[in-house]
Amino acid sequence: MIEVDGLSKRYGRTTAVDGLSFRVEPGTVTGFLGPNGAGKTTTLRVLLGLARPSAGSATILGRRYRELDEPARRVGAVLETSSFHPGRSGRNHLRVLATASGLPVTRVDEVLELVELTGAARRRTGGYSLGMRQRLALAAALLGDPEVLVLDEPANGLDPQGIRWLRDLLRGLGSEGRTVLVSSHVLAEMQQTVDAVVIIHQGRFVTQSSVAEVEARAAGGVRVRSPGAERLRVLLVAEGAQVSELDGRLQVAGATAERVGELAAAHGIVLHELHAESATLEEAFLQLTSAEAPS
Amino acid sequence: MTRLLAAELLKLRTTRTALGLLIALLGLVALIVIGSLATADRLELDLEQWQDDLFSVASLASLFALLFGILAITGEFRHRTATPTFLVTPERERVLVAKTLASVLTGVALGVVALALTAVVALVWLSSRGASLHLGGDFFADALWLLLGCALYAALGVAVGAIVQSQVGAIVGTLVWLLVVESLVAALSERVGRYLPGQAIDALTFQGGDVSRTRGLVVGLVYVALLGAAGIVLTRRRDVA
């Protein structure tokens, strides 16, 4: 569906993207994550035919973007937020794009309704807030009712309410079977929205997996201190958890704190300490990207 | 291409840039025409030659056509609308061709409007002085050449804008080229000067002879073709910022 293969992009001596490869399967909402400057925007611009790769390739629906027939009807994209003429109204901006891609004007009003921008549609974009620009950019991406959406930091500038709205919209688009690749450097925005993540750092691939997997992998797990540590260890291993000993405590991966507590209670094992090292995507991300820092 | 041309024409109707240029042009033409009429003496007014010269004021439209062409393309880079434009139409050369066509149409329209305003003002003024407007056969030929000049300048503007990309850079660069460099070269050697783009196209709009006009047209078209090709090659190759 979306395939990035050995992609590199250099600007002079700076390498923005360095041999990046990953695949996004159809019908998934995938978070494209990395700290600022990781190369996310550059990757997406190459994917969308706006920049030339220095090496490697990036394809959508099996083709390079420039070779797609009627690209606006197949791929929708949100790139930087301020791509509007300040003197043109939001509606006219969309009319221009609809005209160029042969879409009816009725579609313009539909997408304006969809992003809840109808009220401001006839005002000049120069007076729009950042959130309104993001909505207009999303409207432009949705004009051609595309099966693939590529969104670069669409949550930027949205207030908490706007972010919730965006989440619902993205989940809705995903549940319609569309393929969505959405970049962000703020993980909390993405955690409840995406099925899978691709994480990059300093232009290089770090990992790709489901959100749950990343959380589990980076999780510190559960820490237990107990006089009956040996019995508990046997029980936990029998449950399929990995257990190691650390400073006289058990370090448990692959079992929740609740499960450890239940097991201990069921077998009458005294616990002196039970601590779940909570793993948000944020922590997982920080851990993964800092591990990849240059040596 | 019809779709793209329609989109380009819609672009220019949905901002105030084209309207602003039109108003500025009309104001300037009206000012100069009224000034000329007011300062001419009564005997001159009735002369066909004098009246023909009066209409050369409308050639100001060619400069505005050039400016419009530059603004049409550099505005896309300045406001970063090049990104959505090239996302919808990744074949960037088609965008440039459509933009050139739209700018040529606009340039010609500016020429027509400038000529019409000159005619209306002159007609009113002359009839109030008991003189009449003589629009001989020359007038219509002159007008057509002038419109051709507007078309060439508009196309040249798009080509230069596509090469330079920076709006200020393209406008300042073009004005310095036309007003300083070309004037200097033309003053030093007229033979060389007439092969420069501005001098060549100006031969169409200011009353030149048929020989200089035909040569101007050919030279102008060559420049449009060369700079247009350079603009297409560069626009295709460059990353869209």
Other residues' Cβ atoms within 10 Å of the Cβ of residue A99: 23
Question: Each residue of A133-168: pLDDT tens digit?
Answer: 999 999 999 999 999 999 998 888 788 888 888 888
Of the pLDDT bands very low, low, confident and very high (cuts 50, 70, 90), residue B104 is very high
Q: B3, B8, B87, B233: best mutation site toward chain A, by most A Cβ within 10 Å?
A: B87
- Provide, as residue numbers in chain B, all residues whose Cβ is less than 8 Å from the Cβ of A60: none
Quick one: which of B116, B118, B24 has its CA closest to B71? B24
- Provide, as residue numbers in chain B, all residues whose Cβ is less than 8 Å from the Cβ of A88: 11, 14-15
Question: Each residue of A51-68: pLDDT tens digit?
Answer: 999 999 999 999 999 999
Instruction: Indicate the burial class of B113 (C-beta count within 10 angstroms; 0-12, 13-18, 19 or more).
Output: middle
Cα–Cα distance between A122 and A197 in angstroms, integer?
37
Evaluate whether A135 touches A167 at the Cβ level (below 8 Å). no
Q: What is the pLDDT of residue A163?
A: 87
Cα–Cα distance between B8 and A99 in angstroms, integer?
9
Burial A243-254 (b: 16+ CB within 10 A, else e): beeeeebbbbbb
Highest mean pLDDT among A30-39, A282-291, B99-108, B186-195: B99-108
Question: Each residue of B21-65: pLDDT tens digit?
Answer: 999 999 999 999 999 888 888 777 777 788 888 888 888 999 999
A24 forms beta bridges with: A2
Query: Chain B residue with minimal CA distance to A139?
Result: B84
The answer to whether B90 contacts A68, with C-beta atoms less than 8 Å apart, is yes
Average pLDDT, chain B: 91
Cα–Cα distance between B122 and A58 in angstroms, integer?
63
The answer to whether B4 contacts A100, with C-beta atoms less than 8 Å apart, is yes
Q: What is the pLDDT of residue A121?
A: 92
- Provide, as residue numbers in chain B, all residues whose Cβ is less than 8 Å from the Cβ of A64: none
Percent of chain A with pLDDT over 90: 49
Give yes or no for residue A113 having a pLDDT over 60: yes
Tell me: ipTM over 0.85: yes
Structure letter (DSSP) for residue B178: I
The answer to whether B84 contacts A83, with C-beta atoms less than 8 Å apart, is yes
The answer to whether A85 contacts B15, with C-beta atoms less than 8 Å apart, is yes
| Average pLDDT of the residues in B141-160 | 94
Q: What is the pLDDT of residue B105?
A: 97
Cross-chain CB nearest to B7 (options A71, A88, A96): A96
Quick one: which of B89, B103, B92 has its CA closest to B61? B103
Helix (H) or strand (E) segment spanning residue A30: strand A29-33
The answer to whether B240 contacts A51, with C-beta atoms less than 8 Å apart, is yes
Which tokens go with B193? 């000067």
Q: What is the pLDDT of residue A280?
A: 63
Burial A115-137 (b: 16+ CB within 10 A, else e): bebeebbeebbeebeebbbbbbb
- Phi and psi for A178 in degrees, rounded to 5? -80, 155
| Average pLDDT of the residues in A86-106 | 95
- Order of strands, edge to edge, in the sheet holding A249-253? A242-246, A249-253, A221-225, A273-277
Give yes or no for residue B186 having a pLDDT over 50: yes
The answer to whether B87 contacts A72, with C-beta atoms less than 8 Å apart, is yes
Q: What is the pLDDT of residue B27?
A: 96
Q: What is the pLDDT of residue A78?
A: 92
A→B contacts (Cβ < 8 Å), by residue, are: 45, 48-52, 65-66, 68, 71-72, 77, 79-80, 82-89, 92-93, 95-97, 99-102, 140
Cα–Cα distance between A135 and A150 in angstroms, integer?
14
Instruction: Indicate the burial class of A198 (C-beta count within 10 angstroms; 0-12, 13-18, 19 or more).
Output: buried
Other residues' Cβ atoms within 10 Å of the Cβ of residue B208: 17
Q: B88, B238, B240: best mutation site toward chain A, by most A Cβ within 10 Å?
A: B88
Give yes or no for residue B126 having a pLDDT over 90: no
The answer to whether B14 contacts A89, with C-beta atoms less than 8 Å apart, is yes
| Average pLDDT of the residues in A99-108 | 95
Query: Chain B residue with minimal CA distance to A51?
Result: B239
SS3 A119: helix
Q: What is the pLDDT of residue B86?
A: 94
Evaluate whether A257 touches A163 at the Cβ level (below 8 Å). no
Q: What is the pTM of this model?
A: 0.84
A62 forms beta bridges with: none
Question: Each residue of A228-260: pLDDT tens digit?
Answer: 888 898 988 888 888 888 777 888 877 888 888
Give the dihedral sign, CA A89/A92/A96/A97. positive
| Average pLDDT of the residues in A200-211 | 86
- Provide, as residue numbers in chain A, all residues whose Cβ is less than 8 Å from the Cβ of B87: 48-50, 71-72, 77, 79
Nearest CA-CA distance, residue A215 and chain B, Å:
35
Structure letter (DSSP) for residue A63: B
Nearest CA-CA distance, residue A95 and chain B, Å:
8
Of the pLDDT bands very low, low, confident and very high (cuts 50, 70, 90), residue B151 is very high
- Provide, as residue numbers in chain B, all residues whose Cβ is less than 8 Å from the Cβ of A97: 7, 84, 88
Give yes or no for residue A291 having a pLDDT over 60: no
A55 forms beta bridges with: A8
